[in-house]
Structure 1
Amino acid sequence: MNEVIALEGVAKRYDDAAAPALGPLTLSVAKGEALAVTGPSGSGKSTLLNLVAGLDKPTEGSVTVAGRRIDQLSEHALAKFRREHIGMAFQFFNLLDDLTVTDNILLPAQLTGTGRCSATARAAELMDMLGIRKHARAYPGRLSGGERQRVGVARALVNRPELLLADEPTGALDTASGHDVRELLTDLHRGGQTVVLVTHDLALAEACASRTIHLVDGRLALDTHARAVR
């Protein structure tokens, strides 16, 4: 299977609004692709991300992720599917302040029933890869914004998901930390990770996305492929 995401005729309406918040939209994302979703506020970026994550369901059309029609799944099945196949990194990190860095990273693995030894080895591997091993026993409040985002990405990747979703991953960071996260996402894409990121940061899209789509009023206004990720 080459497609990690396939949206067919997807539309989302709220409160019987005349115009949909998104769509109709047909879109596919290939395995190993890094897609940046851009557009002004209210253009449908967050709606698209929520549909792909299974956090919302379309009014029309079908949403297939990693070979499964997720719009047809129950809430319980969706939660299980997300834990096993989708990693999510958030603008404000969503880390648990009373857990150490290691325990924050381990949480999704524990929810899927992964053995402690295997999960701990995977967490150590990710901390080494992301340059945060020295913070393994620290608490999130002691870290910089860029370091906390790296912990969030490690947590998102601990179950080896087919898809990483990143929602404004540099939005809460200073310039230097934002640059670090751009490099991180670029490295993950180069390593073969499929990434979809929603961003207002055009420098982020240009630096680490192999493809960028631009939404306006819920419609696809532009779909461009980069020559290469630098």
Structure 2
Amino acid sequence: MTNPPMIALQDAIKKYDDGPPALAGVTLSVASGECVAILGHSGSGKSTLLNLIAGLDKPSSGTVTVDGTRVDQLGEAGSAKYRRASIGMIFQFFNLLDDLTVLDNVMVPAQLAGMGKGEAKRRAIELLGSLGIDRHAKAYPQRLSGGQRQRVAVARALMNKPALLLADEPTGALDSSSAEDVRRLLLDLNSEGQTILLVTHDVQLAASTARRTIELVDGAVKRDVVNDGSGAGLAARTPLTRPAGAVG
């Protein structure tokens, strides 16, 4: 018996006004344990797709199912509960709280989910240790490098043991060395069984991190390719398809 996919979108359409849809009938699936990259230029529909999967927005039509939950049918309270229980999110600019220590930042999701302070602290310290930044537990985020802050953000995203990790341009604000550290961290997490959806415009990051890459153009799936594992397969193919009329 085949296991159901972790993510399944069926003919998902999202319209915001009378113009072209932000998503134009997207159908895709992501298996549990996969690392899949969503690739595309600005305006391609990447952010809209991410918001639908995270339960931050709803499709105009079609279905969105994540880990067996029909996300498109959830109300506001149900969506918040779903994100706390099933989704971990990593952002380009970290989104850490500067007035909280590293340890307290990591503990926030667990406390919002109702975990006791002692248990949350133990879990947070364990994560910081596994990510090699436990020595910074009492520091404040602004005292850390970009790469260190992103590791804190990863620890926070993993706090509630999410079924799905959403990484939105996770290396976009980092120097090349820190970006490579985060890339390797994502590979390690995926090798341990974590399902990851990586949203990026960086062809090389997608090719060297994800097992599969889906390219969006004008809100539709343009390509869905399996990477060869070397990081060269996708990057060696044709460049990212630019929407009609795109400049530069």
Secondary structure in 1 matching 2:6: strand
Report how far residue 2 of structure 1 moved: 3.6
Q: What is the identity, as a one-letter code, of the residue corresponding to 1:215? A: L
Q: Supply the distance in 1 between the matched residues of 2:38 and 2:92 (Cα, whole angstroms).
A: 15
> Over residues 87-135 of structure 1, what are the superposed CA-to-partner deviations in whole Å (9 max), with x where a residue is unaligned?
0000000000010000000000000001222211211121111111110
- 1:15: which partner in 2? 17
Separation of aligned partners in 1, 2:175 and 2:113: 34
> Which residue type is aligned with residue 92 of structure 2?
Q
- Which residue is 2:237 aligned to? none
Residue equivalent to 2:241: none
- Aligned-pair identity (%): 62
Q: Match of 1:129?
A: 130
Query: 1:228 Cα shift?
Result: 3.4
Distance across 2 between alignment mates of 1:228 and 1:206: 8
Q: Is the 8 A contact 1:2 1:30 kept in 2?
A: yes
The range that moved more, 146-155 or 204-213, is 204-213
- Counterpart code for 1:25: V
User: Does structure 1 conserve the Cα–Cα contact (< 8 Å) formed by 2:208 and 2:229?
Assistant: no
CA–CA distance in 2 between the matches of 1:196 and 1:149? 16
Q: Secondary structure at the match of 1:7?
A: strand
Q: What letter is aligned with 2:86?
A: H
* Aligned residue in 2 for 1:155: 156
Taking the aligned partners of 2:189 and 2:202, their CA distance within structure 1 comes to 18
Report the CA distance between 1:20 and its aligned residue: 1.1
User: 1:16, CA displacement in angstroms?
Assistant: 2.6
Q: Could you tell me how far apart the structure 1 residues matched to 2:124 and 2:196 are? A: 20
- Counterpart AA for 2:59: P
Query: Secondary structure in 1 aligned to 2:7?
Result: strand
TM-score by length of 1: 0.97
Render the CA deviation track for 1:6-25: whole Å, top value 9, x for unaligned: 101101011132x2111201
1:76 corresponding residue in structure 2: 77
- Give the aligned length: 229
User: Is the contact between residue 209 and residue 229 of structure 1 (CA under 8 Å) also seen in structure 2?
Assistant: no
* Structure 1 outlier segments of 4+, above 6 Å: none
Aligned partner of 2:167 in structure 1 is 166
* C-alpha distance in structure 1 between counterparts of 2:126 and 2:9, whole Å: 33
What's the offset of the Cα at 1:66? 1.1
1:74 positional shift = 0.6
Match of 2:29 in 1: 28
CA distance in structure 2 between the partners assigned to 1:227 and 1:169 by the alignment: 22
SS at match of 2:123: helix
* 1:2–1:229 CA distance, 2 compared to 1 (3 A): farther
- 2:12 alignment partner AA: V
* Distance in 1, Cα, partners of 2:15 & 2:169: 23
Measured after TM superposition, the shift of residue 229 of structure 1 is 7.0
Aligned to 2:224: 223
Which position in structure 2 is the counterpart of 1:209?
Answer: 210
Spell out, residue by residue over 1:169-192, the C-alpha distance to the aligned partner (whole angstroms, 9 max, x if none). 011111111111111111111111
What is the CA-CA distance between 1:203 and the residue it aligns to? 2.1
For residues 64-92 of structure 1, what are the alpha-carbon distances to aligned partners after superposition, in whole Å with 9 as ceiling and x for unaligned? 11101011111111001100110000000
Partner of 1:191: 192
Rounded to whole Å, the distance in 1 between the matches of 2:173 and 2:206 is 16
Unaligned segments of structure 1, at least 5 residues: none
Structure 2 vs 1, CA of residues 229 and 134 (structure 1 numbering), >3 Å: closer, same or farther? farther
* SS in structure 2 at match of 1:161: coil
Q: Distance in 2 between matches of 1:196 and 1:86?
A: 11
For residues 16-52 of structure 1, give each alpha carbon's deviation from its aligned partner in whole angstroms, at most 9, with x where no partner exists: 32x2111201111100000101111111011100110
The separation in 1 between residues aligned to 2:140 and 2:33, in whole angstroms, is 32
Amino acid at match of 1:126: L
Task: Tell me the residue number matched to 2:106.
Answer: 105
Question: Greater CA radius of gyration, 1 or 2?
Answer: 2
TM-score using structure 2 length: 0.90
Ranges in structure 2 where 5+ consecutive residues have no aligned partner: 232-248
